[in-house]
Structure 1
Amino acid sequence: MTSVPNLNYHLDDNNIFETAKDIFLEVKPNWKRSDIKFKIFDEGITNKLIGGFQGSSLKEAADVVLIRVYGEKTDLIIDRDAEKRNMVELYEAGLCPPVYATIQNGLVYGFAPGQTLDEKTVRDKAIRMLIAKEMAKLHTMKPKHISSKKCAMFDKLREWLDIIPDSFSDPQMNDRFKKEIRPKRDLELELSELEQRLENLGYPIVFSHNDLLLKNIIYNQKEGKVTFIDQEYGMYNYQPFDIGNHFCEYAGIGDVTDYSLYPDKDFQLSWIREYLQEWSRLASGPTVTDADIWKLYCAVNKFALAAHYFWGVWGIIQAKYSAIDFDYLGYAVIRFDEYFKRKNDFLSLQ
């Protein structure tokens, strides 16, 4: 596996542009300092993202370098060394942009040209089929740096439950937390039940992205391809999780979250058929049957519950520690509300 240099820089709001120029010149020594232009990507809710390029515009730039500045206390929930290793191996497999370097509080890597998706483009037939095939390809990856091929999600969630706060210093936030989020003991019992129900489905464990929200999928119309970005939650997980999580993200994120946009049965069955046919082709598996598709459809919706739970717990932790201006607690409430609203219907699918 390619080694990644560590550069002795720390980025913060006081030195962000001049230090970013130093970093860009470390990885692109042929660039001219005076010609470096910046693009701040402000849609992320975990990290800050800064793009550097040369030329008249980002769209026309021949080469773009990104610096991801890690969010406050995100090391509590993200293994940054694993993220780097994931990206290196995925790049070597042609599945993500290159990693150039690490810095003290971030990562320097390549840019995937194209457009991020939204609630409309993700439903485009050509694009959604590309996503299904790309996910199948990702799920055949076996990163060499991960020794254990067991599902890591439930252990990760128990780690997160251990660090969720008991209260918030802001009285209004604390009142909402107490009223709208169930007690930790209830969440622990819920997780144990969910784990048992999902493990009993017997699906294979695959390397998964685990965070395929719409802004993490780049569509390059010119090349007719999609690229999955932001591999920080990549780990081994049950096969249906990535699909169920992705379908949940059709609802959007933040104030505009609308679960009426969760794809219906016919849409899901068509999507799953495309995924399974590609999965079977890559794995030299048997012909995909309607029964296979229906079985995975049932599992995907059950694992959508795990996605709601995952991001609900994540939201509580971020509400405590993140400096990004986003209503994390409100988002946690939305995800847990959807979890309990859908739980019985999804778990009863046969």
Structure 2
Amino acid sequence: MKETRSHSLLARHGLAPSLYARFENGLLYKYIQGSVCAPADLRRPEVWRGVAQRLGEWHATLPISSISSTCPAPSQILSQNNNKRASLAAMAQLTPGKPIPNVWTTMQKWISALPIATTAQSTRRDELMHELESLTKMLGDTPGVGGSNSFVFAHCDLLSGNVIIEPSPSSAAASRRSSASDVSEEPETAACVSFIDYEYATPAPASFDIANHFAEWGGFECDYSAMPTRSVRRAFLREYLHSFSAHQNRTYKESELDELFEQVDRFRGVPGFYWGIWALIQAQISLIDFDYASYAEIRLGEYWAWKEAVNGKVEKPTEREVRWAQEE
């Protein structure tokens, strides 16, 4: 079970509570004292600074080998049974030379699972698979921070409910913050936070994990007015790089901040594609009282708006794109 492996790895690195037991339908782990975030909490400066620090620690220290394997050689693929052979071949073709599974092959798997009972469904699945292939060609080789690995151990589901604000954060957060130098005389206050629920954790570009978190600032209601502006995103990324670099015993350059800022900007439409596909599947199988079908169209709409912007075909920018471009 991938989530169990992820949890065990995180616990060994002090980034998750101790795991006590695994059941067929869930896990039992040590209670984390603290409060669960609401979307509005993610926008509080002390909280997003804490999230940035914690995410930088995740990305800098966690090996991805525990949740993925090296892309198999053709001879290894041929040795598998027919079903597994087809799956491995598809993943290897989409992300050659990359660890699998990863965020791209996860989306590939989801798209392949979409229903094709009608002509419209079949056409849409083909369209989404084509879009995924184009996305992978465009963004699949995005370099890692400071020349590090292009993939990190990514959470991939940092919505507000998966961020826990721990009590008395100042001492622990200040300790983490002081481990990296800052251009300001006084470090800003940061909450001490933990992340929970690692079901979707998988190798992914750091820029995807960060862009995906920013998309969650508006919650399930997709309140785009709550999205972080350019100045807030840059401050978040500076905090992230302080933490990432400190946990790799290095200092970062200002040019790395500029590069990461641009990478996250390029990835801003991908979370909509990712969760839009996921919601299409949930609309078919979930028993939860939630309008997944409508949610899927909203999230996929974010992707299409981003694509129009990238291709320079925007007649009228969407609310999300306008907010994303705001400086303050």
Question: Taking structure 1 as the reference length, what is the TM-score of the superposition?
Answer: 0.68
Alignment-derived partner of residue 201 in structure 1: 142
- 8 Å contact kept, 1:139–1:206: yes
Following the alignment from structure 1 to structure 2, what is the Cα–Cα distance between the partners of residues 298 and 334? 24
Residue 319 of structure 1 deviates from its aligned partner by 0.8
Which consecutive residues of structure 2, in runs of 5 or more, have no partner in the other structure? 71-97, 145-149, 171-191, 313-323
1:214 aligns to 2:160 (yes or no): yes
Following the alignment from structure 1 to structure 2, what is the Cα–Cα distance between the partners of residues 107 and 281? 32
Alignment-derived partner of residue 58 in structure 1: none
Q: Among 322, 328, 337, which residue is 2:301 paired with?
A: 337
Alignment-derived partner of residue 145 in structure 1: 66
Alignment-derived partner of residue 37 in structure 1: none
1:227 aligns to 2:194 (yes or no): yes
1:284 aligns to 2:243 (yes or no): no
- 8 Å contact kept, 1:150–1:237: no
RMSD: 2.4
Question: Taking structure 2 as the reference length, what is the TM-score of the superposition?
Answer: 0.73
Alignment-derived partner of residue 306 in structure 1: 270
Alignment-derived partner of residue 246 in structure 1: 213
Q: Return the letter of the residue paired with 1:339.
A: Y
- 8 Å contact kept, 1:302–1:347: no
Matches within 5 A, 1:1-350: 81-140=1-60, 141-142=62-63, 145-146=66-67, 147-148=69-70, 150=99, 152-166=102-116, 183-203=124-144, 204-224=150-170, 225-253=192-220, 256-289=221-254, 291-345=255-309
Residue 316 of structure 1 deviates from its aligned partner by 0.6
C-alpha deviations, 1:239-289, integer Å up to 9, x for none? Answer: 111100000001111xx2212222111110111111112111211234321
Following the alignment from structure 1 to structure 2, what is the Cα–Cα distance between the partners of residues 97 and 206? 21
SS at match of 2:66: coil
C-alpha deviations, 1:29-86, integer Å up to 9, x for none? Answer: xxxxxxxxxxxxxxxxxxxxxxxxxxxxxxxxxxxxxxxxxxxxxxxxxxxx010011
Residue 182 of structure 1 deviates from its aligned partner by 7.3
Following the alignment from structure 2 to structure 1, what is the Cα–Cα distance between the partners of residues 253 and 58? 19
- 8 Å contact kept, 1:312–1:335: yes
Higher strand content, 1 or 2: 1
Higher helix content, 1 or 2: 2
Following the alignment from structure 2 to structure 1, what is the Cα–Cα distance between the partners of residues 11 and 286? 29
Following the alignment from structure 2 to structure 1, what is the Cα–Cα distance between the partners of residues 310 and 168? 39
Q: Return the letter of the residue paired with 1:318.
A: Q
Which consecutive residues of structure 1, in runs of 5 or more, have no partner in the other structure? 1-80, 169-176
Mean Cα displacement is larger for which, 218-227 or 242-251? 218-227
Following the alignment from structure 1 to structure 2, what is the Cα–Cα distance between the partners of residues 307 and 286? 29
SS at match of 2:238: helix
SS at match of 1:154: helix
Residue 237 of structure 1 deviates from its aligned partner by 0.8
Residue 346 of structure 1 deviates from its aligned partner by 5.4
Q: Return the letter of the residue paired with 2:131.
A: E
- 8 Å contact kept, 2:49–2:239: yes
- 8 Å contact kept, 1:165–1:316: no
Following the alignment from structure 1 to structure 2, what is the Cα–Cα distance between the partners of residues 347 and 300? 17
Mean Cα displacement is larger for which, 85-94 or 142-151? 142-151
- 8 Å contact kept, 1:301–1:346: no
CA pair 127-205 structure 1, distance change in 2 beyond 3 A: same
Aligned structure 1 segments of 4 or more residues deviating by more than 4 angstroms: 346-349
Bigger relative contact order, structure 1 or 2, given CA contacts below 8 A and separation 6+?
A: 2
CA pair 182-121 structure 1, distance change in 2 beyond 3 A: farther
- 8 Å contact kept, 2:164–2:196: yes
